[in-house]
Structure 1
Amino acid sequence: MPFKAKDKIVFIGDSITDKGRKKDPLKLGSGYVRLLHDYLTALYPKLSLKIINEGVSGNRVIDLEKRWTMDVMDHQPQWISVSIGINDVWRQLDSPDAEQVYPEKFETVYRSLLEQTKQLPNCRVILMQPTVIKEYPDSTGTRLLKPYVDIVNRLTEEFNGILVPTHEAFLNFFHCETGQDLTTDGVHMNTLGDMLMATTWLKAVTGIPNRN
């Protein structure tokens, strides 16, 4: 267990992280962040972990840049979990005339955010790979995500973070051909998708549940 008593964990990202947090009395939403909060609280009540959800629907990495100080740095967390990249690609598909965040800019902005976290004492980053766009491995959106996944992998190593291989977990699930969906629309998680994200996070960060 990497967490210490009263550790503060900030989750930041887009709608997949947000999941209706503003309507939730605990401000956690109903997605993977809520599952992680409930699991860690139930299993380790004495740690009194403080879990904060700062997801905002529609965000790209350039939006995180605008609010990084207030929504991350000002919390003075011991852990920062980032899930971003889906909208950076999705906007290329649904809004091709808009200003785009291509891989080079994605990496530059993302790196600058992680550089800022070095100002926080004893803070570690947890970087989640962007998941998928449409529920089959060779979709246009999922192919376009590949360089963004590679960037997250590279930045995790560069900043001595913990990589949560959510992209790989989703692709592996597809290959099992269960016939069950993970999303409601190819992007936003249903309850099974949220559970896959949460368990993948737990395996990467805590080793729980134990790997087979």
Structure 2
Amino acid sequence: MRDRARYLFIGDSITEWGRFEDSEGIGENYVRMIRDDLAIHLPHPFPEFINRGIGGNRITDLVERWHTDVIANQPDLVSISIGINDVWRQLDNQDMEHVYPNDYAKLYRELIEQTRAQKIVLMEPTIIDEDPQSKGNQLLKPYVEIVNQLAEEYQLTVVPTHQAFLKYLNRPGPLPLTIDGVHMSSTGNRLMALTWLQALTK
């Protein structure tokens, strides 16, 4: 029996960001910011953090590595952030095997049902372009809705990151949330971390 909880974060490059260059395997991202905040506010018992983000991943990639990267690690909490690449690749036609909403929902449900963690956290996909009316953000809407529907169906915690980003952009905020429309600036990572922490403490 472990002496502390294990928190595992899985997703695409937004989650990965810098973890392969980091001796701690965390990276410079929202995962680190969540960890650091909990170190200050919840030092005992402090959970173990594992980052399993991989750049370019879609829901299909998570399915392929779920047993190795999630189930085998026996996490107490799993936080899932996926969906941006499922939409982004529809925009630039990188491949013909797009993951449309129905398939996204089916595969996401399979992941949830395989997982035996005490707590499963579903993060809404963030944004594609810092224009709320961009084509990417319009295409994201059904994926965001699916995340919320699954959270309600399985009574899981949902992190409203997409909604938090749109709220910031509609002000508009003084600093950019991304460096390229998708990957986070420090401000974007901070907003993700704050939204996650707020959702978990409700």
2:71 paired residue among 54, 70, 73: 73
Structure 1 position 147 matched with structure 2 position 142: yes
Secondary structure at the aligned position of 1:93 is classed as helix
The answer (yes or no) to whether the contact 2:38–2:46 under 8 Å persists in 1 is: no
TM-score by length of structure 1 reads: 0.91
Task: Work out the CA distance in 2 between the residues paired with 1:138 and 1:195.
Answer: 23
| Correspondence for 1:210 | none
The Cα of 1:96 is off from its aligned counterpart by: 5.4
The amino acid across from 1:88 in the alignment is D
- Maintained 8 Å contact 2:123/2:161: yes
Instruction: Name 2:155's counterpart in structure 1.
Output: 160
Q: Of 13, 20, 26, which residue of structure 2 is paired with 1:15?
A: 13
For structure 1, the residue ranges without an aligned partner over 5 or more in a row are 208-212
**Matching residue's letter, 1:168:** Q
Aligned counterparts, 1:34-45, within 5 A: 34-45=32-43
The CA deviation at 1:97 is: 4.2
Q: Paired residue for 1:198, among 169, 184, 193?
A: 193
For 1:43, the aligned partner's letter is H
Aligned CA RMSD, in angstroms, stands at 1.1
3-state SS in 2 of match to 1:82: strand
User: Could you tell me which residue of structure 1 aligns to residue 87 of structure 2?
Assistant: 89
Whole-angstrom CA distance in 1 between matches of 2:33 and 2:25:
13
Distance 1:30 1:96, change over 3 A: closer
One-letter identity of the residue aligned with 1:202 = L
- Flag structure 2 segments of 5+ consecutive residues without an equivalent: none
Partner of 2:102: 104
Q: Cα deviation per residue 1:28-64 (whole Å; 9 max; x = unaligned)?
A: 0100001011111222222120111000000000000
| Separation in structure 1 between the aligned mates of residue 43 and residue 95 of structure 2, nearest angstrom | 49
CA distance in 1 between partners of 2:124 and 2:61 (Å) = 18
| Distance in structure 2 (CA, Å) of the matches to 1:107 and 1:66 | 16
